A and B are shown apart, each in its own frame.
Chain A
Amino acid sequence: EAQVTQNPRYLITVTGKKLTVTCSQNMNHEYMSWYRQDPGLGLRQIYYSMNVEVTDKGDVPEGYKVSRKEKRNFPLILESPSPNQTSLYFCASSLSGGAAYNSPLHFGNGTRLTVT
């Protein structure tokens, strides 16, 4: 089944403790992206990747890192999480990097992160 898989679904951590949220897609998609969703603010893009080894900042990249060493995986790294990073995170992918925004985005099920 074609899907985007995020793990974990829920994560509670403490300030400063490094964490990684994994994202994997099995559709051979070139484009991948991370979003955070907060009430009343819709979806805000954190980072995106047009292809392997090509990543770029979105609208809210501060405090996050990503890597794209393989086409299927796009982990989100919080080196030193802070309470303002408490949010619902979504990974998404689409077929083509060049025409990324002409292709539908496929979303993972989300990761609800709480930083205390």
Chain B
Amino acid sequence: GQQVMQIPQYQHVQEGEDFTTYCNSSTTLSNIQWYKQRPGGHPVFLIQLVKSGEVKKQKRLTFQFGEAKKNSSLHITATQTTDVGTYFCAPRSNYQLIWGAGTKLIIKP
């Protein structure tokens, strides 16, 4: 079925460095949701993007939806230990909600 590619699978950063995860689809998406899952926890909704080229910010998190509505990104500025976890994109296409494999953010000790 429909698939979405989320990269990278892992990203190791020093605390204070930036982090970015990308979500790419070969087909046009209706909208896209982003979720965060802390270690040992459950996914928690972060945001939804609907419009072409949309950019939304939540404090140090910036979410973008591509102009063609085929890709999206999540950027975290100056990571903190509280940002650790796995970030999932969940785009909607043709009434189906599909999930990326997630990008795990790891803070180097």
Contacts and interface: CB of A to CB of B under 8 A. Distances in A.
B99 interface: yes
A40 B88 contact: no
Contacts of A102: 31, 48, 92
Interface of B: 1, 6, 9, 30-31, 33, 35, 41-45, 48, 88, 90, 92, 95-97, 99-102
A35 B6 CA distance: 18
A90 B99 contact: no
- The secondary-structure label for the interface of chain A is mixed
Interface of A: 40-45, 59, 90, 92, 100-102, 104-110
Contacts of A108: 42
A46 to B, nearest CB: 13
Contacts of A109: 41-42
